[in-house]
Chain A
Amino acid sequence: MTVPVVPADPAVRPSSRGPSPVRLFLRNRLAVVGLVVVALAVLFCFLGPLLHPTDQLQTALDRANLPPSAGYPLGTDAVGHDQLGRLMYGGRTSLLVGLAAGVLATVVGMLWGSVAGYAGGWVDAVMMRVVDAGIAIPALFILLVVSAIWKPDTTGLVLILGLVSWLVPARLVRAETLSLKNRDYLLTLRAIGGGHTRAITRHILPNSISTIVVAATFQIADAILLVAYVSYLGLGLQPPATDWGAMLSAGLTAAYSGRWWLILPPGFAVILVVFAINAIGDGLRDVFDVKGH
């Protein structure tokens, strides 16, 4: 018997429930900061244009490259778009594509990993060798090749990003499934004639939720970075559509001419949001990794 940190007898225990999930999350200061930052970023991108309406479609070369002023708080870019408005406009793409691609990657990985781990044997071996092969090829390389052949729109970008980044979640979920599949409750389920679909959807996936949710947040952060990479290399969305990566890329030519307002805002936006989402993932891990699960 080990030292009872919490005695087993519920009669002695003041409350049988641990701290609530919300309290656990709030205890992680960094995660709370992350949540606030992401919430502000969403408000900024989606509600900001209401307070600061700008024209992001028409070019106006007569007011190109203006430094920050009262009328243009962050100045204008090389074709005369208001930079603050563009930051909102580009942020929509970055956030939406990042979220959608991250969720897609997690869902695909979750299904692939849980089926492989649950089936075991040669099915598992074949499915996981596919994953190994995928991981062996750098995601960025696949991205570059695909987007060089086919200029993607937003949906296309989500599909490409999602389908190159499901490999890591698949591995994580498979490992979780392996440890869950010999639990007594799954043995009991098999003994009383429960099917495989029920085992996976009702027991294995709900019990892997901590792994899945944490993986999902990191996938979203990764996807936002990937969008930025691809767009930075000029292979993302085509103008006038833009995102933070494309803005960085466009601003790079101005790096040595002192037009800092073209580089620093989108750069900081990417760093801040990616950091914030990672912090949220960290906080969610605290919530789900409760003892007794």
Chain B
Amino acid sequence: MSAATTAASSAGPDPVLDVRELVVSFSTDTGRVDAVRGVDLQVRPGETLALVGESGSGKSTVAFATMGLLAGNATTGGRIVVGGADVVGADERELRSVRGRTAAMVFQEPATALDPLTRVGDQIAEVIRNHRDRPASAARAEAVQLLRRVGIPDPESRSRAFPFEMSGGQRQRVVIAMAIANDPRLLVADEPTTALDVTVQAEILELLRGLSAEHGTGVLLVTHNMGVVADFADRVAVMYQGEVVETGPVDEVLLRPRHEYTRRLLAAVPRLQVLEAGAAPVAEPRPHRNGDEVVDLQHVSVRYGHGRHAVQALTDVSFDVRAGETVGLVGESGSGKSTAARVALGLVAPAEGAVALFGRDLSRTGTRARRQLRSGIGVVLQDPVASLDSRMDVGQLVAEPLRIHRRRMSRTERERRVAEVLDAVQLPAAFTRRAPRELSGGQRQRVSLARALVLEPRLLVADEPTSALDVSVQGAVLDVIRELQQQLGFACLFVSHDLAVVQDFCRRVVVMRAGRIEEQGPTGTTLITPTSDYTRHLLAAVPVPDPRVQRRRRAARRDLLQAGGTVEAG
């Protein structure tokens, strides 16, 4: 880094957050864990510092330490000065005057950050009255103003709403309104958009950017998403194993990373290929589709519940997956993509339409034949913890499909097959005796994958298989699937909300919205030059990890929204 940028970042007004040599360790049942090992950070008024890193890097611990919110088993050393007040070693009374007044926090999950039994206006008013001597009526009026500022339409009536009456995006706006209620000088946002859909994420980031610029609030943004960093941050601090390995302006760190770890991290981030204005569309040959249909959904509708309470989960959904092909099923939460995958698996029976698995109509097959058909399917689900029975060891888990469908297999044959398939997903054979809780998230998903592939299926259904994983781990798991697919030739139905991953991984894509198919086609066409407005909005909302490109995309998205193509989201 040049001396000029160092000088630039140390000039200007006093920082609102000054962290010096912060050390945090937790005492646990199994000994002491050093979560943060000597971190220095400064956030100046009006500046956004992104603290990025993978799980276990200590980034959230830094954020919680800033607010004095660490769990009781934590020991903190070093100095944290928030707006002139020292947080380390402060007692509860001193901390209360900092929290919500000098510094405020925006949490990841808006559903749990709000009290479900209190009207949102009253929750905001409470935050105001905690710190300022206001009559209740004035505080309530101020709450309405705050709701207006965070872009809640019709704030007078919405202030009387309960959290469950609002969408996820609106709830996060309420959380932000509470955070800015006392004009804090520092906003600590811990993964503020991770629980939200991309279109909602774009709006929330827009809001935070506006608020920070308007009032000169400093923002400490904790995130794992490099696209969000590129979109929102001025400076970046990269954390790895409790230490900051690299700090600098966003353009420097994201475009010219100096530290080895930052480079690795950025290389692992899947990048959405985008058509920049003016560039010629990439001509991609239409993938030939002459394999057998492995799974085929025809005009499928699914309803949950009965009578007046029935929910239409899918409406007239038709798509197929052919042998050896990878089809991506994308959409935001509630789009019905997981339901569609469950219909394909035969776990959800359609109310209308037909589902054929390997050419056999599922509604016309008997129980026994259906079980036989299912031996041709492998399944990998999202949650690495819930997917594996914690009472079994890895060997038992992977062998389970063999015990169901290859009952005559001898014990030695079974053990050999398990060892083979563990080797295929690049896990050491010694793992057979391990319990799932001894494995990392990525290793668990490999075990799931090994279990899915042990019968050499013709179809792999993967429902968000890498969404709970860190990017570097995600890349490795996707590579394993891709490699095995080339060797074994199974078809893959890949459900994901991450357009960049789907673009990279799938040949064809089906875009879903509110239980219907919005459009489908080859990935290279549909996700580069989409024909439907919805797909266009979805793509425009994805932040890319290149700050310069992202600035242009942000402007383009604003134009797209102003052009009238408003898509109601969240």
Docked-complex contact A5 and B375, CB < 8 angstroms:
no
Instruction: Give the chain B neighbours of A292 by CB distance below 8 A.
Output: 385, 390, 437
Docked-complex contact A207 and B374, CB < 8 angstroms:
no
Interface string of A197-227 (1 = CB under 8 A from B): 0100011001101000000000000000000
| Cα distance, A13 to B191, chains bound together (Å) | 23
Docked-complex contact B379 and A192, CB < 8 angstroms:
yes
Instruction: Give the chain B neighbours of A293 by CB distance below 8 A.
Output: 390, 437
Docked-complex contact B190 and A193, CB < 8 angstroms:
no
What are 15 A-B pairs at a CB distance below 8 A? A1-B60, A1-B222, A5-B73, A6-B28, A7-B33, A9-B241, A10-B438, A13-B33, A185-B386, A187-B379, A191-B345, A192-B455, A202-B389, A206-B392, A207-B391
Question: B117-125, B129-137, B308-316, B397-405: which lies at the A interface?
Answer: B397-405
Whether A16 touches B437, Cβ cut-off 8 Å, given contacts A6-B33, A184-B381, is yes
Residue of A nearest to B436 (CB): A292
B377 within 8 A of A: yes
Instruction: Give the chain A neighbours of B57 by CB distance below 8 A.
Output: 9
Within 8 A of A (CB), among B376-390: 377-379, 381-383, 385-390
Instruction: Give the chain A neighbours of B33 by CB distance below 8 A.
Output: 6-7, 12-14
> Which one of A3, A11, A14 lies within 8 Å of B30 (CB-CB)?
A14
Instruction: Give the chain A neighbours of B190 by CB distance below 8 A.
Output: 1
> Which one of A1, A185, A193, A203 lies within 8 Å of B404 (CB-CB)?
A193
- Chain A proximity of B407: nearest CB distance (Å): 11
Instruction: Give the chain A neighbours of B194 by CB distance below 8 A.
Output: 1
Docked-complex contact A4 and B29, CB < 8 angstroms:
no
Whether A8 touches B56, Cβ cut-off 8 Å, given contacts A192-B377, A292-B437, is yes
| Cα distance, A14 to B35, chains bound together (Å) | 12
B193 within 8 A of A: no
| Cα distance, A189 to B392, chains bound together (Å) | 14
- Chain A proximity of B376: nearest CB distance (Å): 9
A121 within 8 A of B: no
Instruction: Give the chain A neighbours of B554 by CB distance below 8 A.
Output: none
Chain B: interface residue total (CB-CB under 8 A): 67
| Cα distance, A273 to B393, chains bound together (Å) | 37
Whether A194 touches B400, Cβ cut-off 8 Å, given contacts A8-B56, A187-B381, is yes
- Chain A proximity of B431: nearest CB distance (Å): 12
Docked-complex contact B440 and A10, CB < 8 angstroms:
yes
Instruction: Give the chain A neighbours of B191 by CB distance below 8 A.
Output: 1
> Which one of A9, A19, A192, A198 lies within 8 Å of B440 (CB-CB)?
A9
B346 within 8 A of A: yes
| Cα distance, A17 to B434, chains bound together (Å) | 11
Docked-complex contact A193 and B387, CB < 8 angstroms:
no
Within 8 A of B (CB), among A1-55: 1-19
Docked-complex contact A207 and B390, CB < 8 angstroms:
yes
| Cα distance, A85 to B531, chains bound together (Å) | 92
Residue of A nearest to B375 (CB): A193
Chain A: interface residue total (CB-CB under 8 A): 39
> Which one of B26, B345, B377 lies within 8 Å of A6 (CB-CB)?
B26
Interface string of B436-465 (1 = CB under 8 A from A): 011111000000100110010000010000
Instruction: Give the chain A neighbours of B241 by CB distance below 8 A.
Output: 9, 11-12
Residue of B nearest to A19 (CB): B29
Residue of A nearest to B368 (CB): A193
- Chain A proximity of B474: nearest CB distance (Å): 15
Docked-complex contact B388 and A185, CB < 8 angstroms:
yes
| Cα distance, A202 to B389, chains bound together (Å) | 10
Question: B63-71, B478-486, B518-526, B535-543: which lies at the A interface?
Answer: B63-71
Docked-complex contact A12 and B387, CB < 8 angstroms:
no
| Cα distance, A2 to B403, chains bound together (Å) | 39
- Chain A proximity of B59: nearest CB distance (Å): 8
Within 8 A of A (CB), among B504-556: none
Docked-complex contact B372 and A193, CB < 8 angstroms:
yes
Docked-complex contact A192 and B401, CB < 8 angstroms:
yes
Residue of B nearest to A207 (CB): B391
| Cα distance, A7 to B441, chains bound together (Å) | 13
- Chain A proximity of B337: nearest CB distance (Å): 16
- Chain A proximity of B17: nearest CB distance (Å): 18
Docked-complex contact A3 and B60, CB < 8 angstroms:
yes
B108 within 8 A of A: yes
Interface string of B5-31 (1 = CB under 8 A from A): 000000000000000000000101111
| Cα distance, A292 to B374, chains bound together (Å) | 30
Instruction: Give the chain B neighbours of A7 by CB distance below 8 A.
Output: 26, 33, 35, 56, 58
Whether A5 touches B461, Cβ cut-off 8 Å, given contacts A14-B31, A188-B387, A192-B377, is no
Most chain B CB atoms below 10 A, which of A1, A6, A195, A203: A1
